[in-house]
Amino acid sequence: MRILFITHSFNSLAQRLYCELSALGHEISIEFDIADEVNEEAVALFKPDLIVAPFLKRAIPESIWAKHVCLVVHPGIVGDRGPSALDWAIQLGETMWGVTVLQAEAEMDAGPVWASAVFPLRQAMKSSIYRNEVTEAAVQAVRLAVERFASGNFVPQRVAGQTHALMKQADRAINWQTDSTASILARLHAADGFPGVADRLFGQPCHLFDAWPEASLKGEPGSLIGRRGTAICRATRDGAVWIGHVKAAGGIKLPATLALPMALELPELPLADYWKSSAATWQEISYEEAGGVGFLSFEFYNGAMSTAQCQRLTEAFKWAETRPTKVIVLRGGSDFWSNGVHLNTIEAAESPADESWANINAIDDLAEAILCCKRQCTVASLAGNAGAGGCFLARAADYVWVRDGVMLNPHYKNMGNLYGSEFWTYLLPPRVGDDGAKAIMRHRLPMTAKESVKLGFYDACLPGPGFAVDVARRAAELAAAPDFAAQLAAKQAKRAADEATKPLAAYRAEELQEMKRNFYGFDPSYHVARYHFVSRSLNSWTPRHLARHRDLDWKIPQ
């Protein structure tokens, strides 16, 4: 079928549905929901059999739903209606939640139901629930709904429903004197990603994000107990929570101490070392060891890696190399493995060009450390999504194992035609061929975990449930392999041979030459794209590589 996506943006859920439905043989074109007339034009050009709305913030106009079946993905259980669906579910402590695919009609979310799926609701940030449980449930429900639509004999059912209002900041407000830690965490989790919880810190209005529980620190309710790295710890009535990110009034979302520099005066509350704390606390980089395998996790918010984070991780990796292990597994974070350099800290710097340069060099140093690791075999295990430089940083490891369901965006051009570094010119072509590498970079499209393995870019796609256990088992097997010494020797020999053919320094210098032009050259595209990205500017048009119906040579297949 020809399926038109009308969507607020091409977010990870829309990307996943795009890949899943394309893999089933459907032809997908995308229009961003900017204005009714633009949507009408897209429908007229593409003449879709079906319209799917993965992520909408406004209603579809009657001019479209009256003539075409439009399937809307609603992040709520059957009968749930209205905005802030996930926010209410998390804040009210629901234990089961779901996704409903319903047909667009005049009243929002009130149309007949085509399919639905449910899941247990974890206590976690909304953005994490959305990228994991909601996305998996949406894939299941949309596939079923599309199948039912194609069958031509399914009659969607109307259900009674309850409409809730848009959640306002008044509904989210925290009373630090009286609210419990659990209720504060639920409020911060329900608002994570967007819009955050409006509050005051150091007397300044701001929005809070990225909350983590703290098991042992305590203080006067509402007081700031201290900081660890860039996060701050605030006391509650019965404990404390960590706040990792803050958006100061008029600013962008930043690591807390960067958003509010006065937080740097707070006492530092360091952890002893990289070993994973056994109690709940804020720990960005952590290390565990079992069966000859070292596991290095880096829980960087949104997968963005600032200069300082890259430096800290490089230091931790070099420390992990000194351990008596045979394999190092680079685990990344629970939601993202890495999305490359940190565009928000770059934007906030006095000279974004200088900070871009520092950040790309710091991430290249990390990639180089991984590439040059001699004593251990390295594995990148991707439980979460990766984008841009993050995809190539993972490829610097000897093996890349990726969880089924993870979305990858191994290209840079969407960020103002950025050339990219992280040794992609060394790492990508041998895996997918020169033409394959050019196509991936040019098409700028997302890739599923399965596709990445099919293309030869990554090495194994492992089932979602039990991924961590599976990775640990495979890594332990690798460490215990009778031919481990031979494998290590072969890896060292390959690196030496590659180095003799063309040194890593030459790849790096060539890539950075291009990046210098992006950062300091006369074409400001990267700086403009980054500004719009970090400011979350609304889309004003759909890029041509997504809106296929707008290609000049696009014709309806006969």
The token duo for 360 is: 């790309």
- Pairing between β-strand 407-409 and β-strand 447-448 as defined by DSSP bridges: antiparallel
201 binds ligand COA (CB under 6 A): no
CB closer to ligand COA out of 174 and 363 = 363
Question: By C-beta, is 82 or 303 nearer to ligand COA?
Answer: 303
Q: At its nearest, how many Å lie between ligand COA and the CB of residue 429? A: 18
CA distance 130 to 16: 12
* The amino acid at 348: A
Q: Would you count residue 302 as binding ligand COA (CB under 6 A)?
A: yes
What does the chain come to in residues?
Answer: 558
Q: Which of 128, 281, 339, 452 binds ligand COA (CB under 6 A)?
A: 339
**Which residues between 406 and 435 bind ligand COA (CB under 6 A)?**
409, 412, 414-415, 418
- Considering the rule CB under 6 A, would residue 507 count as an interface residue with ligand COA? no
Which string of x and - marks every residue 309-338 that binds ligand COA (by CB under 6 A)?
------------------------------
User: Nearer to ligand COA by C-beta: 78 or 305?
Assistant: 305
Q: What is the radius of gyration, based on Cα positions, of the chain?
A: 24
Q: How far is the CB of 228 from ligand COA (least distance, A)?
A: 21
In the region spanning residues 170 to 199, those forming contacts with ligand COA, defined by CB under 6 A, are: 193-194
Of 260 and 266, CB closest to ligand COA: 260
State the DSSP string of 247-274.
Answer: EETTS-EEEHHHHSGGGGGSPB---SSS
- Given candidates 207, 253, 331, 474, which one binds ligand COA under the rule CB under 6 A? 253
Whole-number Å distance between alpha carbons of 356 and 199 = 31
Which residue type does 523 have? D
If binding is defined by CB under 6 A, does position 11 make contact with ligand COA? yes
Q: 352 preceded by cis ω (within 30°)?
A: no
What's the first-to-final CA gap in the chain, in angstroms?
12
Three-class SS string for 75-139? Answer: CCCCCEECCCHHHHHHHCCCCEEEEEEEECCCCCCCCCEEEEEEEECCCCCHHHHHHHHHHHHHH
Which one, 294 or 416, has the nearer CB to ligand COA?
416
- Told to check if 388 binds ligand COA by CB under 6 A, we report yes
402 is a site residue for ligand COA (CB under 6 A): no
Angle between helices 525-534 and 352-371 (to 10 degrees): 90
Q: Which of 343, 371, 380, 515 binds ligand COA (CB under 6 A)?
A: 343
Interacting span for ligand COA (CB under 6 A) from 146-154, 178-186, 381-389, 491-499: 381-389
**Residue showing tokens 């739903």:** 65
The footprint of ligand COA (CB under 6 A) covers 11-12, 193-194, 253, 302-304, 339-344, 385, 387-389, 409, 412, 414-415, 418, 536
